[in-house]
Amino acid sequence: MKRMESTHSRSPLRKREIIAAALNCFTELGYNETTMQDICVRSKASNGSVYHHFKGKEQLAAEVYLEGITEYQSGLLNDLEKQRGAFQGIKAIVRFHLTWVARNPDWARYLFQKRHFSFLIGTEQRFNILNKAFVQRISKWFMRHVESGAIRRIPWDVMIAILLGPCQEFARLHLSGKALTKIEKAITELADSAWLSLSMPREKK
């Protein structure tokens, strides 16, 4: 009985280890070339353990994607919701986005490249649930500052495009090795630019 409890308590950790190993394999070998055996070897997990958590490579690849989205969204919200000032919040979003990409280049590339891969078919409901919760929390923070008059009242999709569009482009340049500007400098410039675009014409709050 003790052995069963130990295995059960370790199961979430083992699942994350398998997901991390899969990401490493997909990065180094390519998705098509990676086999489940490669992932077993990299994660140091038995076939039985891997297949206990995942039915096959496609399901595992989808879980890698969803895990990356979950980690990104939860981290961004955690940083944003600590900020009281509108400018500080905008800068926190820019900072988190760029530093997350810099710290997690393999995951960032995976999220950029695999958004429309066939293995994500069937995960739309989970993906939509994640995004809905994310948008609700981030829009709640922004709405508070819209109502206070610090941020302009503009359509939500336009606001996100203004805020994250330039960050996404710089992130792509950084991941491809083409960025000439250091991350800290880019954070300052992009946050200031977003603030000028989104804020009411007044001093930083």
How high does pLDDT run on average in the chain?
89
What pLDDT is attached to residue 9? 39
Cα–Cα dist 60/153, whole Å: 41
Does the CA dihedral 147-149-155-156 come out positive or negative?
Answer: negative
pLDDT digits (tens, 9 = 90+) for 80-93: 999 999 999 999 99
User: What structural domains and CATH numbers belong to the chain?
Assistant: 1-54 (1.10.10), 65-198 (1.10.357.10)
What pLDDT is attached to residue 142? 96
pLDDT digits (tens, 9 = 90+) for 45-92: 888 888 888 988 999 999 999 999 999 999 999 999 999 999 999 999
Q: Which pTM value belongs to this model?
A: 0.87
- Report which residue type is found at 72: Y
Establish how many alpha carbons lie within 13 A of residue 86's alpha carbon, considering only the half-sphere containing its beta carbon.
Answer: 25
